Each structure stands twice: as structure tokens, then as C-alpha cells.
Structure 1
């Protein structure tokens, strides 16, 4: 009797074919068979699946169309492997540097969401420790994630595609320029960074936290990682300070440290607002990305309007 292969009916035949094609490229799967294919939730740019092969579970990613325009796939592969060796990322089984398709060992555990960081603040403390572990690892990623340059790249791609940005962009750009001046005088020390630590990229296997999906990796100001988590998890000011105290292992947070977090919150929202519109310009659904980007755009401008950005710049410049 031939064993039936269980495939989620919502998966397109095109992607089923791509999954089989991708699995066939891996030498260690030569004499194996696919038992089951399930959709993994999340992922704004890629399609993710849990694929059971000869009884073993793997996480398989089919990279989104057009992502090669702005994601350095060889750099991601290098970082993903380094972080796997450090015990932070899932083990990488196969990675296609041309397409960005990959297969990783599936991590059995709880995928975190926004409420988890609020209902159990121990996750904030644990995430801070994970950040510090790879920030201070001394490892070097292949590329620098220069968010100001990334922002400029996204803007130029939008211009090339003749696609408009949000109203009020002049105010955003004026303040980005002001931040750029301050950082030129006080450049942060760069460290290996994830740069996109949204809640769903954290997995608790019961023993420790893993941080997956290293697409936007690069050498960067480590405070950008903390700022990104603050925004993604919707942390309040008390929780921001808990994150900082846990990261620095100190009861006292300086004005400059807190100011650096605010500056990076502003830059993070500004960056991903451009990214969101670029997704639409490259063919993604308008309804999925326009409001996502607009919310981030407005949140960045709120830091300008309430004076927090200027206060942070002053503290950072002292």
C-alpha cells in the first residue's frame, strides 16, 4: 500500500512543484520521500512551509519574486550559518544563493507573537540576552546594513518604477537628514545585526529562544535591533527600559543610550515605510502593504511631532 502524501489544499500546484524541486536538490534527501506539506503562517515577502521528509520536519522557504533586487542572498546564507553555529538560528540544510530558497531544520516550539512579550516580560529579558550574545560575538557579516543607504536605495527604486510615496515625505526626509548629520559626528560601533526581529521570528523551544530569518542581516548599530523589537512588539516605555537594562546588564540607563533607541525607532519606521511601498511597486497587493507602510510612516512622524526625536538627538549629541 502506497503511503498517502498529506498536502494542504490551499497550497498552489505551482508551489507544490517548487517544493518537490527544491527537496530534490538536496543530496541527503536522495532516498527520502515527502510525507506532508503544511503552510507556515507569517512572512510578508516569502512563502514558508513545514515539510515532513521521511518522518523528519523541516522549514522550507520559497523566496518572494523580486526580492533579489534588494536582498543580498549570499550574505544571508553566510549569516544564517554563523548564527546556527552560535546556537541562535535554525540549522541550515540547503540554501540557494541565487533564488534565496532554503531548507532549515524545523524548530519545534512556540512561535512568539506581540501578546507574548506583554503577558510574559521574561521574553523581553531573554531577547535582550540573545541580542547581546551575537552583537558581542566578534563575528563579521559579509555586508553592512547601512539603513540610511538602504532607505536611499528603496527611494531610488521607487523613482525608477515611477511610484509615489506618502504625502508628507518632505518632513520625513528633512528629519532623516538631521539624524544623518548627528550620526556622522557620532558614528555607532557596528556589530552583526539581524535588523528585522519581528515577534514571529522568535521561537521558544522550551529551553531557549531562537531568532530566525536573517534576510536583512548586516553589520549595523546594535541599537537598531532593539529598536526594531520595541516597535514590532509594541513595547511601552517601561518595557523599553527593561529591554535596555537587560541588554546592558545595568540598573541605570543613560540619556544617550535611551536617545539612541529613539533615533533607531525613527529610522526603523522610516525605512520599512519605504520598503512597504516598494513591495507594491514590485507587484505585491496594495491592500496588504500600503496601510502597513502608512502606519510606520505616521509613527515615525509622531516622534518628530512630539519632540522625542529632537530630544534624543540632543542627548546623543552631548
Structure 2
């Protein structure tokens, strides 16, 4: 048993070492480490923020988000959260599994939770800024060039879509920002089908359609699956997806493909090799940039 970790758990739970047992490492995420432990016959998860996350996550804002959604049934129950160092303890969600992004049942349940969040139009005091994140991640490259020779050219073209995106944002509400399938836990009980949305560390006020993008590109959806996913979201919300709205979503795919490319390159420079992930995201950036340019060109021809 890791003595240092045990001390941390005892400190935040305010209990004696003898009361903690069965500490097990969870599969690490891309930004944090997680451990399961048992206290009084109940299981809990402690999150230990990873190296460099203090540059990317405002823990005070995260704590505020958990306060906002408390009692609404979206997430796991938070027992403890430290807004200074990001250590978090929550109750373990028993009898659940991680959402399979290619299982329609799982994905539809996750979409229903996402749609419920968006329909509530919750408010917090801070906004997500995509373009600030670009500046942050690029600054973490420490002056090193991208592994992609045309990165700067593609970046300039994608940043040029900003005006179109902002013209087509219909609302700014509490948005998860990182609802990828590993952050969706699906109940195993067929009598109580539900998806819980966990890890709200990036949640902020933003265009809710970004949540669709962040799920889909993390799951590596191809174009056919992407269309199905977008259509299903608007079907559940009983809304139409206009030509401009769909084009805006494609523009987000290009933008966030590039953003996560920049993030992955920053992590590579820090010593975590995410080259394969960067290549997938960069392909999204280039492919959907072309799709958006073609759609905007066709729109101009019709006009």
C-alpha cells in the first residue's frame, strides 16, 4: 500500500489508517490519477490531479460547478473537493460501466443526460474560452515546432472560422466541455437505465453544441457515425438542426481537433507520448476544415 497515498486519504476523510482498506489503482485518465478505496464497507474514489493540470484547470471554478449541480442527479456524489490542489473524493458508482461509444443503447442514455443538462440552462459565473486554450497549450510547447509541417497554415485557416462560429451561437449555458465516453457511466440495471456524467473539471458557460463535438472526436467517430450522433441529439431535444448550425458543429470539430492536437503536443513535450492521439485529432482538424469550407462555398453560390 502506498503510504503517502494512504496518508492523503486519511487526511481528507479525517479517519484513522485502520479504517481504510482495499486501495486499488484505476486506469489513469489523460489528466488525472484515480484510486478506489473502501471505508466502512463503502467504496470511494480519490482523484489526484496529474502533472501540469494546474495550468489547465481552475479548481475553484470546478468546485463551484459541483455545488451548482449538487442534488440534480447528473454526477457521482462528491464527499470532498479541495479548490486549491484539486484532490477530490466521491462515492464509487456501483454497478455501472463506462459508456461504449459504439453501443447505441449506451450512447443514447449518455445523450439523454446531456440533453437534460442543456435543457436546464444552468448558469455559473465563468465562461470557457476556446481561443485562450489555444494560447495556453501552444505556450506549453516551449518554443518547439509541431510534428505537423503545415500546422501553422491549418491553424490560421481554422482560427478564421471563429467569426462564423460566434455568429451562429444561439445560447451560452453550463456545458460540460469534456463529456467523452470515459466520463459517462452507464447503469447495469435494466430497470433503471441511466447515464451519469462525471469529471466536471472543465465545465463552464459555453455553446452546448461543443459537448457533442468533444464526445464524438474522443470516440474517433467516422463521418457516418458523426452524423448519426448529431441527428440523435437534436431528435432527443425535439429540435431541428439547421444548415448553419450543422456547419458550425463541423467548424467546432475542426477547431477542437486542432485544439486537442496542440494539447497532445504539449503533453509530448512534457514527456507523455500522445503522438497517435495527436494524429487522429489533426486529421479531424484538416478533414472538417475542408468540409466547412465546401459548405460555406455552396451557401455563397446559392446566395
| Structure 2 equivalent of residue 143 of structure 1 | 126
Give structure 1 stretches of 5+ with no counterpart. 1-6, 8-12
Matching of residues 159-198 of structure 1 within 5 Å: 161-165=142-146, 166-198=148-180
Matching of residues 90-169 of structure 1 within 5 Å: 90-113=76-99, 116-119=100-103, 121-158=104-141, 161-165=142-146, 166-169=148-151
Q: Distance in 2 between matches of 1:164 and 1:18?
A: 37
Normalised TM-score (structure 2): 0.87
The Cα offsets for residues 168-196 of structure 1, whole Å up to 9 and x where unpaired, read as: 11232122222112134444421111111
- What do you get for the CA RMSD once the two structures are aligned? 2.4
Which of 273, 277, 298 is the aligned partner of 2:265?
277
Q: Distance in 1 between matches of 2:137 and 2:186?
A: 33
| Structure 2 equivalent of residue 239 of structure 1 | 228
1:220 and 2:209 are equivalent in the alignment: no
The Cα offsets for residues 219-257 of structure 1, whole Å up to 9 and x where unpaired, read as: 11111001111222334144224433334324x532223
Deviation larger for 235-244 or 36-45? 235-244
Mapped contact 2:81–2:88 kept (Cα < 8 A)? yes
Aligned length: 293
1:295 and 2:284 are equivalent in the alignment: no
Give structure 2 stretches of 5+ with no counterpart. none
Q: Distance in 2 between matches of 1:164 and 1:22?
A: 41
Mapped contact 1:192–1:220 kept (Cα < 8 A)? yes
Give the CA deviation at 1:36.
0.8
The Cα offsets for residues 8-47 of structure 1, whole Å up to 9 and x where unpaired, read as: xxxxx3xx413432332334x4697112111112401211
Q: Distance in 2 between matches of 1:126 and 1:316?
A: 35
| Structure 2 equivalent of residue 10 of structure 1 | none
Normalised TM-score (structure 1): 0.83
Instruction: Identify if the C-alpha distance between structure 1 residues 315 and 36 changes in structure 2 by more than 3 Å, giving closer, same or farther.
Output: farther
Mapped contact 1:260–1:316 kept (Cα < 8 A)? no
| Structure 2 equivalent of residue 23 of structure 1 | 10
Mapped contact 2:20–2:37 kept (Cα < 8 A)? yes
Instruction: Identify if the C-alpha distance between structure 1 residues 303 and 69 changes in structure 2 by more than 3 Å, giving closer, same or farther.
Output: same
Give the CA deviation at 1:75.
0.8
| Structure 2 equivalent of residue 249 of structure 1 | 238
